[in-house]
Structure formats: C-alpha cells, structure tokens
Amino acid sequence: MTATPTPGAWQLARRADRLNPSTIREILKITERPGIISLAGGLPSADTFPVAAMREATARVLRDQPREALQYAASEGYAPLREWVAGELATQGLACDASQVLITTGSQQGLDLVGKVLIDPGSTVAVESPTYLGALQAFAPYEPEFFAVEGDDDGPLPQSLDAACAGRDKPRFVYLLPNFQNPTGRCVSAERRLALVDRAAALGLPIVEDNPYGDLWFDTPPPPPLSARAGVGVGVCDGGVDGGVGGAVYLGSFSKVLAPGLRLGYLVAPKAIYPKLLQAKQAADLHTPGFNQRVVYEVIKNGFLTQHVPTIRARYKLQRDAMSAALTQHMQRLVAGGCRWQVPVGGMFFWLTLPPHIDAAALLPRAVEAGMAYVPGSAFFPHGGHANTLRLSFVTASPQQIDTAVAALAQALASA
C-alpha cells in the first residue's frame, strides 16, 4: 500500500512575518466598485501617458535594434539611458558620473536594494513621520527598527537627526523625500534642506533621497536635491557600512513623468556602495528590462520631456486648484474643530488632519457609502497612530468629481 502523500510543511522565513498587505492596495479593491470616486490611489493620471510617442518608439526599437533589445543585457542598465540620467541630474545641480547610475525596475526596487545592502536585523533606519508606505514595506523585511524623524510644515527637523543618532545604534541612513512628499505633499524649503544635509554630514549619517515627484511642480521648481549638497561622489565605507560618512544615495523614477507600467527607475550611489547595490540588483532580477529601457531612451533622447512634463504640470495644477477650492467650500466649517490641510505646490496629494477624536480608518466605510474613498493616514507612520489623518490624491479624478468626492467626505465627517 502506498502512503498518501502529505502536503509539504512550509516553514516561512522570519522576514515573511514583516511582509504585510499594503493598506492602499486593500482599499483600492473596495474602490473599484462602480460609482465610487476614488481619491485613494497613488496612481498618475493615465491621460498623461504619451501613447503615440511610446508606440512610435517601440516600432523604431523593434525595427532598428530588435536583437539587442530582446537579449539579456547589462545589470547596470542601458548605457545611453544612464548617460541621459547623469546629464539630467547635472541640470538640477547633482553632479554624478554615468558609472554611478544603476537603472532599476522602478524606484521601488531601488528601495529594496538599499534595504538589502544597508540594513541588518535590529539596526536603525531613520524615516520621516509620516513617510512613503512603500518604503516602510521595502525596508521592513530586513528587520530594522524605525526611528521616526519629527517634522513641521517646512520639512523634517534637523535636531531630530541628532536625536536619531543619540542612541547606541546610529541609523544606517535617513530616508528623506524632500519634494511633494508622498503622503503629505510637503516640499522642504531650501533653508531646511541645507540645515538637514549639514546636520546629517556632521553626524556622519548617510541620506537616502527619494524623488519621484520633483518634476511635478506647479509654479516654481523645487530647490536643488539634498544629494546635490550631500554629494554622491565618493562616500566612505570601511568594511561595513558602519564606517560610512555622509554622502547620499539618490532615487529617481520615470513612473510619474512617463508611465509606471514601464517599471523604470534609477539610483545614483557613491562609489563606496555602488558595487554592492549592483550585485544585489544582479541577484534580484539580472537587469531591468532592456526593451523598456531602449524604448524610453528613444522617447526621451531628443528632449521630449521638456514638452511633455509641462502638460502634466498644467493638468495636475488645475486638479490641485479644484481640490483646494472644494476643501475650502465643503470643509472650512470643520477647521474650527481641528481639521487642517496645506495646499501642495506640486505632486499628487493633499494631506488632511481631522479633528482629534475622528478615526479615518473607522470613517472610511461611511465615506465609501457617501460615494468616495481615501487612504487613512495611520499606515504612513512608522509606528502607526495618528488615526485622525488621511491622504487624498487629486490627479485621477476630474475637477467635477473632486468636488463631488470632497462634498461626500464632508458629509461623512459631519455625520461622525
């Protein structure tokens, strides 16, 4: 008699405990119901995707370089695209060499690679509070302790970096989003940038700067990147990263200026850690799809973005204005009760602080019933809490829909 095979007893790795479903993706499932105006997603508007330019570039790549485009390729990325990135960053004041550019499968992969190379279990990582949820998710499996950097409307507080470094275990790095941050929309002032970089340098605290939204400014471009002052050139890494002094890793993306489905981002790293990031990249997926890299290079090589990005800015600015007007109209009377927001000067998001007794997660079903959805803010905080906050995206709904959705939110709030 043969024994009935038993299913394998899978034992999950410890790090799997730290992998959790994204609150946002869970909410997006609810909001796919017809009739709901969702201000929850972090998606760019599909109306901004340059379909015609992509179609033509794709045809050209398949006509002129099909064998190279469809073959395995270098882990560092497509050389002309790396050159393009270095040239583009130079115009923003960030001097780097193309040899320091690593093309990644979205900047999300850049966050994972940084985590893999720099975080040990139990080591500290300093993050803004709130910060990009996807970064918390990318870093968490490497089992860091998060230090929550305090901030105000102007940006993270430099003295909070001192507090981060006061403990026994200096953070491996501080993760900062100076431009139109996800989730708050906040843009860090020029003075604060200088103060932060100088404080970090004095403390020997490396900076990981994430900048997917910097091109989406509405009136004036943001101040130069933190990495421009911190430098991405050399960096020190004596044996382990503990000896690293200053310096920055810079992360960028084509998701918000072209299309996220391309999964195309990049990082720029000091020479001291670039080889390790490259090896991690190789181990993860060998290389970012070469076909996508060549198509994107075909699209952008002759200055396409200098015409295309202003059309995105103009569109998002109108939507930002619509949301600002809708908030003023429908929510102003809640300000006395503690409701507050700032009007973002770029990016894709408004951040709302509700009266202290209101729990945005508990309110969400009522808001959905009223016809709209948002993301409760708690998930963006490294240690949770702050239940009375929420994020609204203004880029995927029309001005009319934005007004309707904000009115619905106000109605849900009034009933709470």
Tell me the β-bridge partners of 241. none
Q: Does the protein bind ligand PMP through residue 253 (CB under 6 A)?
A: yes
Q: Does the protein bind ligand PMP through residue 265 (CB under 6 A)?
A: yes
Q: Which of 257, 275, 353, 365 is nearest to 311 (CA)?
A: 257
Q: Which of 124, 182, 184, 292 binds ligand PMP (CB under 6 A)?
A: 182
Span near ligand PMP by CB under 6 A; candidates 104-112, 274-282, 310-318, 371-379? 104-112
Task: Give CA–CA dist 84/398, Å, rounded.
Answer: 34
Q: Does the protein bind ligand PMP through residue 241 (CB under 6 A)?
A: no
C-beta of 110 vs 158, nearer to ligand PMP: 110
Counting DSSP H helices and E strands in the chain, the numbers are: 14, 15
Task: Indicate the SS3 state at residue 176.
Answer: strand
Task: Give CA–CA dist 388/386, Å, rounded.
Answer: 5
Q: Return the residue nearest ligand PMP (CB atom).
A: 106
Span near ligand PMP by CB under 6 A; candidates 10-18, 88-96, 253-261, 352-360? 253-261
Per the listing, tokens 């560092």 go with 76
Q: Does the protein bind ligand PMP through residue 377 (CB under 6 A)?
A: no
Q: Does the protein bind ligand PMP through residue 210 (CB under 6 A)?
A: yes
Minimum Å gap between C-beta 226 and ligand PMP is: 14
Reported as half-sphere exposure (CB side, CA atoms, 13 A), residue 374 has a value of: 34
Quick check: 277 and 113 in contact, CB under 8 A?
Answer: yes
Structure tokens at 260: 């996220």
**Contacts to ligand PMP from residues 61-100, by CB under 6 A:** none
Minimum Å gap between C-beta 43 and ligand PMP is: 8
Q: Considering all CA atoms of the chain, what is the largest pairwise distance in Å, rounded to the nearest integer? A: 79
Structure tokens at 67: 């064998």
Q: Which of 141, 212, 225, 244 binds ligand PMP (CB under 6 A)?
A: 212
Q: Does the protein bind ligand PMP through residue 260 (CB under 6 A)?
A: yes
Residues that bind ligand PMP (CB under 6 A): 42, 106-108, 132, 134, 177, 182, 210, 212, 253, 255, 260, 265
